[in-house]
A and B are shown apart, each in its own frame.
Chain A
Amino acid sequence: MKTYILLALALLCLSTACNQATENSERKELQEDTSTVAVTLYRIPSPIEMFSFLKTNDIPFSANVLNPIGNWQNYTDSKAQAINLGIYTTDLAYSAAYEQYQEAILYFDLVRKLGDKVGISAVFNQPLVSRIENNLNHSDSLLNISSQSYYQIINFLNENQRGPQVALIAAAGWLEAIYIVTQKVNLTTSDAETFQRIADQRLTIENLMPMLDQNKDNEDVASTIEDFRPVIDFFMNLKPSENKETSYQNTNETLSVTGGVTYTITKEQITELSALVADLRSKYVGVPITKKMN
């Protein structure tokens, strides 16, 4: 529904903008491009993409990899709250992707509670809450609402220039997704597609690092960078299996890109990664981090 709304709004803008631009392009010539670069924004795919992938590859759901619901009251400082909001949002996405309605509603409720503590209660407005309550038996709606929760949290924080919290929530959400996939991947069958998806996280790390670095003046972010260091180093030490020059072709509608750098990962490396991620994740979900509230 959100996409439709976006598209309708877009069309409103676009239909008028197209006419406007066409009229004007007829009477004005373009000037030479002398632009400089203002700012670079880093984006990473949401955890939902990972779980859609796992489900498509018939990797079963396990409730025992979720961060237990009862833990949420232990998160009393700003870092623990932001980090575990990211973790619970990912758990919500995992439950929704696998149509686990009961877990999804419980984790949505947790995300809302922690969201209040992080100061983003405006994201969870009554229409969103009503929609999830009314769509418990519709998997597509549940997945869309889960996606909206993640997107709306990140977008709300971005628009309110709360970069440190965006970085913490995105980093923790990604960590939880990697924790779940490394717990669930079947190392005995050499599932090539899942191995490749894990190796591809090297690129996500390349965007996650600058997201964190841009906010490292914040104490919580600075300590999170140090927490993540072993996982970051692991991915940055992956060797490319292929490094072909990128080639591309443009048709009217489509840009097709071939080549580029590809990373691979072995069973042994996944075992190593799994331990690193589980260790870090345990630190966040199981042990309250001692620091006073901001």
Chain B
Amino acid sequence: MNLKSIIFLLLSIVSPYYLTAQDYEFDDQSGNLEIKTREFTKISVIMYKDYEYKVSFMADEYVGKVHFKIREDNAGKKVLFDNSTASYSQEKKIKLENTTKLLIEVRIPEGLNKSEDAVNKGWVALLIEHRRK
């Protein structure tokens, strides 16, 4: 058993307990997305002020880490978070003062992943979870 297998096994055992301890619930705005290398796919979501949210991306191995941004979903489209400035972290928690519409933009980054020459598009899972404040 190699190191990768051992890490996966441990995470698989621990993760349900970790998730339960955090009390996050699945949010139906989650979904599977087909994304591309040079194009951002945008997902407009609504987040209620009563909740804290967690946004995570999971991709096939051949896709690797995804590049995502979180923007205001209004005329200004201000960037609130860009994971390229955070070591391509694949998860972000969000707290809101007011109910807000946010844009999540995601793409396969060029130059980051091993097989980017071969990968023009791929499937990723966007997992959104929430819990009451």
Chain A residues at the B interface, C-beta cutoff of 8 Å: 2-4, 6-21, 23-25, 28-31, 33-46, 48-49, 53, 56, 144, 147, 150-151, 154-155, 158-159, 196-197, 200, 203-204, 206-207, 210, 242, 246, 248, 250, 252-262
The interface residues of chain B lying within 8 Å CB-to-CB of A53 are 48, 50
Whole-angstrom CA separation of A79 from B132 in the bound complex = 36
Partner of B90 from the list A14, A155, A159, A207 (CB cut-off 8 Å) is A14
Q: How many A-B residue pairs have CB under 8 A?
A: 215
When distances are taken between beta carbons in the complex, the residues of chain A under 8 Å from B64 are: 17, 20-21, 24
Choose one: A3, A12, A18, A257; the contact of B97 (CB below 8 Å): A257
**Given contact pairs A40-B43, A43-B44, A258-B97, a sample of 8 additional A-B residue pairs in the complex whose CB atoms are under 8 Å apart:** A9-B125, A33-B84, A35-B107, A36-B39, A40-B41, A45-B27, A46-B27, A248-B81
Whether the Cβ atoms of B72 and A260 lie closer than 8 Å is yes
Complex contacts, A46 vs chain B, CB 8 Å? 27-29
Across the interface, A262 reaches (CB within 8 A) one of B8, B19, B60, B98, namely B98
Contact A20 B111 (CB under 8 A): no
Contact B70 A255 (CB under 8 A): yes
Docked CA distance A13–B62 (Å): 9
Residue contacts A-B, CB under 8 angstroms, 11 given: A7-B19, A13-B60, A18-B65, A25-B88, A40-B41, A49-B27, A248-B80, A250-B80, A253-B93, A257-B95, A260-B100
- CB <8 Å contact, B84 and A15: no
Residue interface mask B51-88, A partner, CB < 8 A = 1: 00000101111011101001010101010110010101
A254 to B55, CA, bound (A): 10
Whether B125 contacts A6 by the Cβ 8 Å rule is yes
Minimum CB–CB distance for A245 against chain B, Å: 9
- Contact between A35 and B125 (Cβ–Cβ < 8 Å)? no
For A47, the closest partner residue in chain B by CB is B28
CB distance from B37 to the nearest CB of A (A): 8
With beta carbons under 8 angstroms apart, the residue of A3, A14, A33, A44 that contacts B19 is A3
Output the least CB separation between B120 and chain A (Å). 12
With most chain A CB atoms within 10 A of its CB, the pick from B28, B48, B67, B94 is B28
